[in-house]
Amino acid sequence: MPYFFSGKPALAFDTDSKNDRVPIGLIGCGGMGTGNINSAKQWLDVVAYADADSGRAEKANQDFSEGKGDVYADYRKILERDDIKTVHIATPDHWHTKPLIEAMLAGKDVYCEKPLTLTVDEGKLIRKIQEQTGAVVQVGTQQRSTFNRFVKAIAIVRDGRIGKIKKMTCGIGGAPSSPEIPVVDPPKNLDWDRWLGPAPFADYRATKEKSRRRAKHSNCHYEFRWWYEYSGGKLTDWGAHHVDIAAWALVANGQSDAIMSIGGEATHPVEFVDGVPQQTDRYNTATNFALNVKFAGDVDVEIKNGGPNGILIEGDKGRLFVNRGKVTGAPVEELKENPLPEDAIKETYKGFDPIENERKAHWANFLKCVDEKKEPISDVHSHMRALNICHLAGIAARLGREIKWDDKTEQIVGDDVANSMLKRPYRSGYEIEMSAPEPATANG
């Protein structure tokens, strides 16, 4: 059965008519942003671009709009435009929450890359504003739209094929370390202060050695992932994908996803005091870790850098393993003789029909939900339930001790230092603007 939105089959919907395409603004024009737009360009008309790196914004404008789109340094110019109802946010992690909240308040629907937040408290505000505005927000966890692997695995769990889940293991790989990275002048096309945005001021750092046409080691493009100032390391990079699948499996199986405690071991490339890295000249996120999350209902989830990349789900009737290349295990083999019910995949996918290619399917799901004002497959509420696991694991790793969690109050129990890490101050001038912008013309 073909997947439909707006009355047209998604894979066949390919037109140059602007009347049939969705005008969209792109905030963050790096690899993820342009890659996502490229996968959905048959449905999108990108009319505006914003990036702190003018070179990236100009290149994206040429690639997708033949240079005819509007290019801004300040993303708020896009939010001011009443001709743009949909935006894609693909900035570095520390720049997700602020434009997402401001976009929702401006009446936009948003496809935002993961992880949505740097902190637990940012997630609380995002959930509140989404409920307040009714904005459709799709999180870029495309694994939720991989039908022949991840959705299939969840459908198997949902159908009771592995019984009650007892343990899950998320192998997500470790973060790299770096040599000392020198302070240098930022590239001329990069507004470094704007790139830092809400994060504390820091010098721009980069090595002379290049990799993929960028500095091999830096605190900017792509390499921001390995700095707690801008990300959560592998725990919020790959963890935001695989831990999300683990949390989805619990809910799909009718089990609680309430966190009780998180502890374990982690190795960092720099010294930490009360969760704060003591060196500023090299990567600081955990390189090796084995962290155990205890859930209500006597379920353990291990998040580790070792072992195969993917999720092992173990129940009292069987187990399966799933990653981006395969889904294996006895419950999978048994489908040959005892297939899932005909509508199992569709029901697992919130009632939407599947299509091939997870990036394309994820966009098709988002655009259909925008059209019909429905909740997308990767909504902010389920995402934050899973992402909180990653954030709390990061806090436990940075402090080197177990933390206990009160799921009802969303607070860490009996540990003031750990509890203070549920939020971070925003740098002056880059606070979240909690009022909707005034509408502007197409040219600002």
pLDDT number for residue 18: 54
Measured between alpha carbons, how far is 170 from 290 in angstroms, rounded to an integer? 10
Measured between alpha carbons, how far is 141 from 358 in angstroms, rounded to an integer? 10
Which three-class secondary structure state does DSSP give residue 119? coil
The verdict on residue 87 lying in a domain is yes
Q: Kindly list the distances between the CA atom of residue 378 and the CA atoms of 12, 114, 292, 375, in Å, as whole numbers in the listed order.
A: 24, 10, 24, 8
For residues 65-82, average pLDDT: 98
The verdict on residue 279 lying in a domain is no
Tell me which H or E stretch contains 37.
helix 31-40
Burial state string for 174-185 with b = 16 or more CB within 10 A and e = fewer than 16: bbebbeebeeee
The verdict on residue 364 lying in a domain is no
For residues 56-84, average pLDDT: 98
Measured between alpha carbons, how far is 338 from 78 in angstroms, rounded to an integer? 52
Q: What six digits make up the tokens of 165?
A: 């889940």
pLDDT number for residue 429: 97
Q: What six digits make up the tokens of 179?
A: 């040599």
For residues 406-420, average pLDDT: 98
For residues 17-21, average pLDDT: 67
Each residue of 143-161: pLDDT tens digit?
999 999 999 999 999 999 9
Amino acid in position 54: S
The verdict on residue 34 lying in a domain is yes
Each residue of 180-204: pLDDT tens digit?
999 999 999 999 999 999 999 999 9
Number of domains in the chain: 1
For residues 387-392, average pLDDT: 98
Each residue of 247-264: pLDDT tens digit?
999 999 999 999 999 999
The verdict on residue 109 lying in a domain is yes
Residue 1 pLDDT exceeds 50: no
Measured between alpha carbons, how far is 336 from 334 in angstroms, rounded to an integer? 5
Instruction: Kindly state the percentage of the chain with pLDDT values over 90.
Output: 90
Instruction: Pick the range with the lowest mean pLDDT from 1-5, 38-42, 205-209, 372-376.
Output: 1-5
pLDDT number for residue 311: 98
The verdict on residue 442 lying in a domain is no
Residues 72, 49 contacting (CB under 8 angstroms): yes
pLDDT number for residue 440: 65
Residue 358 pLDDT grade (very low, low, confident, very high; cuts 50, 70, 90): confident
Helix axes 120-133, 380-399, angle to 10 degrees: 170
> Pick from 22, 27, 26: which is nearest to 43 by CA?
22
> Pick from 168, 183, 100: which is nearest to 136 by CA?
100
Residues 293, 299 contacting (CB under 8 angstroms): no
pLDDT number for residue 19: 60
Q: What is the CATH number of the domain that holds 127?
A: 3.40.50.720
Residue 80 belongs to domain spanning = 4-143
pLDDT number for residue 437: 72
Each residue of 305-349: pLDDT tens digit?
999 999 999 999 999 999 999 999 999 999 999 999 999 999 999
